[in-house]
Structure 1
């Protein structure tokens, strides 16, 4: 039998390039072919009676820089990257962060480091509390992960899935530097796990070899896993180079979208629903330029207010990291995308979930120029980061037109708690990296080196970079700052939902690709139920009644 995670060889390219009829309407229009939008579109199209249009602002994913895991850095700053830049941040000494974001089929999953991180149990339980819906809770989400995954590691019938569309595996032979990191963490008393996505995501944290989306040396993007595997000639139409400029609204109902397609303005109508999966920057921009957002800001740009939602663009969150680097004794090999080991831990044992996130890269990453740190020719870097930052930023408009750049205010390290956690994560990273376990592999610590508290704070402010996990700018919840309800429906506007990282009430622990897939699956299930579609069996608690709870 053919492996379900293998896409058919005969998938037609013309689905992405053939002209579309502007006079035609679709049942569903999904905006954005990234880690959530690809899932929503593919799942809805499983019902052959539903017509689905998937719009992507970027181009195709047919490039060696996409398929080859080791070439991901070459996509940064290219046509496959939105290449956003944050506004100067006081917490960073006035520096501006590069906020890279995938642009093209697969979105971030086509240019990222391919780490599969599910989010901590407390993340999903917080989602459920904010939404007022236990279907967002951890026990329910485990059902989704069992449906999603094609896990190729140690079996775990409760927490892992087999035969799903998402191939997940660990490196068969991790590089010595990755295995040494896990061993060094163990020497410090940090628990070591077989995988970061089993019990480790229910505990205080630990260290493990990373789960990756790499198969036979090739990247497995979410688009390839969900959309590309569908039969040619299906009811799913995918259009690239289609920039969504605004939502078409009649009365208080979304009826479609306006786009720029190869420079031409066109409109497409949705009979049932329009779904925004444009990411934490473009989603709030399109909402605001469509008249949905903070009244004062819209009026300042001459935009008619259709629905006053003060939370649009607010609650911006991101994982911030500080590169700690060591020099190798000799040049060492790099596997996959260079990230094979990861660590989550608490800066304070009283915290409900890890607030420290560390991912190892098997090469030396240059520090920002402001840090004035020399990068060794051969080395490795641990990105010591904040898993649960308390700082909140904002996304604002600079104008009412599609080509007016969005203004991103990350506000990084503005919260006092974040600096305390930053110091803790860098100190822990140094303790691990300077362990005797690394003596056979490294010569010395290149960054940050021994510093007093003031020097360490200076290093943190000058070396901070983004993990590119922007989230939260159209959050799910029930308070006055919420933009969508527990069903991901935009408050005050019928037939409009959001399914991407912008709906996160708070950012999840770890890389955000896997949670975005869950968000896409949840959205598809809710839409399918409302409209009577026949899709994959829901990941319900009833379907998994034979399994014991995880907690």
Structure 2
């Protein structure tokens, strides 16, 4: 599958005409994000199976999507679901904005485009939880070799070329990115050529970031996987189509109800329905359709189809604390503004990195609660927890479409997270105040030197999110698991989940690349079940 890079972004008119869409398909995929786009494309490749891809948002034909540097302009717009967490005691009662992509490509159309594949221990943990080596690191390397069109130094064991996902490092990184690598090296953190090869098999390190930018333009997952197939008659893509609930015949999911142009329509899936709506909307549709914790469903008058107490539990996210420095003079911003990455351990005894740092080449304003001023020109280390121990929960506020989910992130509720956060901030300050940055910066503006109590206060007041929500319908074999190793929903036929909600725990690093793997894995499982061409 080779994308037509000259037509990565096209208006809705290039998609399927709305008035000509039938009601029955072989497969229905709900959500066109980093997993759903992959599932729909791989199922449609066969040419024999009819596939409907539903997207609640609009098209991706906007400068704010195609121009990587404009990603912040999408936050808080119609391209963002605009979720907000409930007040969290670990954040001094603050409510976190929890942005999530809405539109063709989902998060991959508005994110920072960092390609981060997860640590070896992440995937081996998933395999252990699922009881299936196909989820283990060695197997997943095979998926990445299939997925990637890697532009860097050859690494045949770990990297792929010729796949649909163009991945490259910045061709001319800014001086501040190079300074970060020098600073890491001076304090004993190894510097690697790539953050996705050997570096993610050990204690971590620093590297230039890998990005999904080609010829200066964003490459969304939808653009890489689905757009090359839009001319195929067996693939139908419908935008502005909000999935409201699943339709069941007994305990078999037979399709979905969808709000299209203000009218409710029902679509039937002859074979399977796949939920790829993300870690908030997948649990919402499940619960409002009768799949979830029995007591909560009954409290809202929702008839129970299948009692699954784990739906909406185990919520995880990467929490970050912005450490900022003022530039001596204005500096250019490269790509999306993130050209260097660092992963490291807060405790040498850990088996894998638990600190995640994305260097942003512009000054990110601290939350107003910190009382800190943001320099007009500067850079911020978006510095946080790669493996948080805190777990949140999603609750229903009601049974209807317009009843919002109550998102309880429960951030920084576990003492291990505060301990790791303190180490992460001090590591960041050590890097940013090193000689490597002296030619570029005048001073540290956040957080500045503080005693332990003052630093804890800064962390609670400054914590924001990477927008990496996961794990709310986890894969596993215990009583709180929602899907099995084949991503089938327990107790329900004809229904699978393929998105970040199935992760037993959050991956080390940005979540787009693992979501593409989930989509590929789901598609393989479905094609095998229904004897489609693989």
TM over 0.5: yes
In the other structure, the counterpart of 1:351 is 350
Say if 1:322 and 1:464, in contact at 8 Å, map to a contact too: yes
In the other structure, the counterpart of 1:547 is none
- Structure 1 position 262, deviation (Å): 1.3
TM-score, normalization by structure 1: 0.95
Alpha-carbon distance in structure 2 between the residues aligned to 1:494 and 1:7: 38
Alpha-carbon distance in structure 2 between the residues aligned to 1:38 and 1:184: 39
TM-score, normalization by structure 2: 0.98
In structure 1, stretches of 5+ residues that fail to align are 536-551
In the other structure, the counterpart of 2:410 is 411
Deviations 1:43-72 (A, max 9, x none): 000011100000000000000000000000
After superposition, residues 381-392 of structure 1 pair within 5 angstroms as: 381-392=380-391
After superposition, residues 259-270 of structure 1 pair within 5 angstroms as: 259-270=258-269
In the other structure, the counterpart of 2:2 is 4
After superposition, residues 124-273 of structure 1 pair within 5 angstroms as: 124-230=123-229, 232-273=231-272
- Structure 1 position 229, deviation (Å): 1.5
> Aligned with 1:53: secondary structure?
strand
Alpha-carbon distance in structure 1 between the residues aligned to 2:22 and 2:519: 28
Say if 1:29 and 1:52, in contact at 8 Å, map to a contact too: yes
> Aligned with 2:417: secondary structure?
helix
Deviations 1:398-436 (A, max 9, x none): 010011111100000001100000001001000000001
Instruction: Indicate yes or no: 2:412 matched with 1:397.
Output: no
Alpha-carbon distance in structure 1 between the residues aligned to 2:11 and 2:433: 52
In the other structure, the counterpart of 2:325 is 326
Say if 1:87 and 1:409, in contact at 8 Å, map to a contact too: yes
> Aligned with 1:229: secondary structure?
helix
Alpha-carbon distance in structure 1 between the residues aligned to 2:270 and 2:11: 26
What count of residue pairs does the alignment treat as equivalent? Answer: 533
In the other structure, the counterpart of 2:288 is 289
- Structure 1 position 384, deviation (Å): 1.0
Alpha-carbon distance in structure 2 between the residues aligned to 1:531 and 1:513: 27
In the other structure, the counterpart of 1:122 is 121
In the other structure, the counterpart of 1:313 is 312
> Aligned with 2:229: secondary structure?
coil
Alpha-carbon distance in structure 2 between the residues aligned to 1:448 and 1:382: 11
After superposition, residues 4-43 of structure 1 pair within 5 angstroms as: 4-7=2-5, 9=7, 14=13, 16-20=15-19, 24-43=23-42
Alpha-carbon distance in structure 2 between the residues aligned to 1:378 and 1:23: 54
Deviations 1:264-315 (A, max 9, x none): 1110000000000000000000000000000010011000011000000000
Deviating above 2 A after TM superposition, structure 1's stretches of 4 or more consecutive aligned residues are 3-17, 20-24
What is the root-mean-square deviation of aligned Cα atoms in Å? Answer: 1.3
Alpha-carbon distance in structure 2 between the residues aligned to 1:191 and 1:234: 51
After superposition, residues 335-346 of structure 1 pair within 5 angstroms as: 335-346=334-345
Say if 2:65 and 2:109, in contact at 8 Å, map to a contact too: yes
> Aligned with 2:342: secondary structure?
strand
> Aligned with 2:313: secondary structure?
coil
Instruction: Indicate yes or no: 2:482 matched with 1:488.
Output: no
Instruction: Indicate yes or no: 2:406 matched with 1:423.
Output: no
Say if 2:112 and 2:338, in contact at 8 Å, map to a contact too: yes
- Structure 1 position 349, deviation (Å): 1.1
- Relative distance call for 1:421 and 1:271 in structure 2 (3 A) is same
Say if 2:383 and 2:428, in contact at 8 Å, map to a contact too: yes
Alpha-carbon distance in structure 2 between the residues aligned to 1:136 and 1:381: 35
Alpha-carbon distance in structure 2 between the residues aligned to 1:35 and 1:49: 24
Say if 2:16 and 2:236, in contact at 8 Å, map to a contact too: no
- Structure 1 position 253, deviation (Å): 0.3
In the other structure, the counterpart of 1:82 is 81
- Relative distance call for 1:466 and 1:534 in structure 2 (3 A) is same
- Relative distance call for 1:8 and 1:379 in structure 2 (3 A) is closer
Alpha-carbon distance in structure 2 between the residues aligned to 1:523 and 1:22: 25
Deviations 1:208-235 (A, max 9, x none): 0000000110000000000011251431
- Structure 1 position 6, deviation (Å): 3.3
Say if 2:363 and 2:378, in contact at 8 Å, map to a contact too: yes
Instruction: Indicate yes or no: 2:455 matched with 1:456.
Output: yes
- Structure 1 position 8, deviation (Å): 7.0
> Aligned with 1:459: secondary structure?
helix
> Aligned with 2:337: secondary structure?
coil
Alpha-carbon distance in structure 2 between the residues aligned to 1:372 and 1:204: 35
Instruction: Indicate yes or no: 2:110 matched with 1:111.
Output: yes
